[in-house]
Amino acid sequence: MTIDESDISDDSFRGLMKNLNLDESQFQEYQTNYEELSFQRLSQIKQIIESQLSLLFDLLKQKYNADMDTKLLTSDGFPRNDIDVVSIRLIRVKIIRLRNDHKHLLKVLEVKLVEHFQSIKDTSSESNTVEPSQSTSESASSTIKYTVPFARVSEIAPNGPAFNAGLQEGDKIVLFDNHIHAANHNRLSGVVSSVKNGINKSIPVEILRDNNQSTILYLKPTNNWGGQGLLGCRLIPL
């Protein structure tokens, strides 16, 4: 038996949570008319979504020994009988929906924050107020804390740039070069552009490791390390 995503309802997910004796209040509903909400309310919803994502990722790993990449079918196309395919699929679909909401919310949140800085500028008489198109946007980006990963590090080459930066297999990237995150990486094309423009420069990379501990490492892309590519690793979109 397989499950089509269109057949998965919120009732099915709530039923699973009830069977697992999990408190349904941890998965409270939230508003999705983001453009009509205040910056403060958007920040609250951001925390709600991220809390739910963290709980679901832990549930996948701890109870089902799975992640978003775990194969659910055998080589001949049948559901695996050594794992709970139905429950894993329900959780993964919920994660995908939450990620989509989170991505949309972050885009609106950044716009709202820039508008906030602009309103401060408009009411200020100081001549050294920052321009919204540059410094204001940078301030907005640095004010928002990103916690949802968008890529996983894999296939690290010995003595390559990623290896020398301290990156490890399985590290999850939440922020690359201070401005690329889950809402704007565009299937990692943003990372590719940043890397090409940052050859021989130190690029900050915020990662999650072990128990989702946040760490900032500094990666220096180069084509003079004796191997292929500028990073010496593979990045897999999540």
85-122 vs 39-64: helix crossing angle, rounded to 10: 160
Compute the radius of gyration of the chain from its Cα atoms: 20
Bridge-based pairing of strands 203-209 and 172-176 is antiparallel
**What is the domain partition of the chain in residue ranges?**
5-143, 151-237
pLDDT value of residue 83: 92
Strands across the sheet containing 203-209:
213-219, 203-209, 172-176, 151-154, 234-237
Interacting residues of 189 by C-beta distance below 8 A, sequence separation 6+: none
- Identify the architecture of domain 151-237 in CATH: Roll (2.30)
Backbone angles phi, psi at 203, to 5 degrees: -110, 120
Interacting residues of 147 by C-beta distance below 8 A, sequence separation 6+: 50, 54, 174, 208, 214
pLDDT value of residue 134: 47
pLDDT tens for each residue of the chain, 238 residues long:
344 444 456 777 877 877 777 766 778 788 889 889 888 888 889 889 988 888 888 888 888 998 888 899 999 989 999 999 988 988 998 899 998 999 899 888 888 777 766 666 666 645 454 444 445 455 555 567 777 888 999 999 999 999 999 999 999 999 999 888 887 888 898 899 999 999 999 999 999 988 778 899 999 999 889 888 999 999 988 8
Average pLDDT, the chain: 82
pLDDT value of residue 129: 47
pLDDT value of residue 20: 78
pLDDT value of residue 74: 92
Provide the b/e sequence for 60-98 (b: ≥16 CB within 10 Å): beeebebeeeeebeeeeeeeeeeebbbbbbbbbbbbeeb
pLDDT value of residue 2: 40
Look up tokens 């919120």; give the residue.
10
Contact criterion met (CB below 8 Å) for 38 and 116 = no
Q: What is the pLDDT of residues 48-92, one digit of tens each?
A: 998 888 888 888 888 899 888 889 999 998 999 999 998 898 899
In eight-state DSSP terms, residue 228 is: S
